[in-house]
Amino acid sequence: RAITAWETLMAQNLAAADADRVAQMVTEARRRLAAQAAGPRQEPTSGGTVTGTVTLAPSLRAQVLSGGALFIIARRGDGPPLAVKRIPNPIFPVAFSVGPEDQMLGGTPFEGEMTLVARLKRDGRAGPPAPGDFEGRAAGPVRVGQRGVEIILDKAH
């Protein structure tokens, strides 16, 4: 019930710091639920982190306004994100690091290959892209431990 309430709160026009805190509470609550479902607490297995830079395509620079939030989304397949990093009020280029601490569900190994998507949300809220948002993907799959991943925001919604 708390997750539902916090997600409803996230749909409101919150200050960036408040939105960050609520997003952290949702992530922690999801981790706790997953740990309860899995039995004894299991810490995620860490193969390291993925680091890189997000830049804007030159053709989109004039369209991007300040504010909002940049989300780095790590996925395996079509299921829920493996990990999400939220960076409020980004100034491009943005350096990022995604690791076990950003996982959505505890007990899931943070290792192997994944796809990385960067999404700039004007409203700062998590969710699917909306008009005015921007998106880009890392070229090909990324391995945990990889450094220097480049993502270019090159798609406007």
Whole-angstrom CA distances from 46 to 12, 113, 141 are 34, 13, 18
What does the pLDDT look like over 125-146, one tens digit per residue? Answer: 888 899 989 999 999 999 999 9
Give dist(CA 49, CA 17) in Å, integer: 24
Spatial separation of the C-alpha atoms in residues 142 and 147, rounded to whole Å: 9
- pLDDT tens-digit profile of 23-58? 777 777 777 776 666 554 444 444 589 999 999 999
- Consecutive H or E run containing 83: strand 83-88
Closest to 154 (Cα-Cα) out of 26, 71, 63? 63
Q: 147-157 pLDDT, tens per residue?
A: 999 999 999 98
Q: What pLDDT shows up at residue 41? A: 42
Q: What is the pLDDT of residue 113?
A: 94
Are the C-beta atoms of 138 and 41 separated by less than 8 Å?
no
Choice between 86 and 33, residue whose per-residue pLDDT is larger: 86
Per-residue model confidence (pLDDT) at position 67: 78
Given pLDDT bands bounded at 50, 70 and 90, which one contains residue 72? very high
23 CB-contact burial (10 Å; exposed 0-12 / middle 13-18 / buried 19+): buried
- Which 8-state DSSP code applies to residue 110? B
pLDDT band at residue 86 using 50, 70 and 90 as cut-offs: very high
Residue range 95-99: mean pLDDT, rounded: 95
| pTM exceeds 0.75 | no
CA distance 65 to 61: 9
What integer best gives the mean pLDDT of the chain?
Answer: 84
- How much is the average pLDDT of 96-107? 87
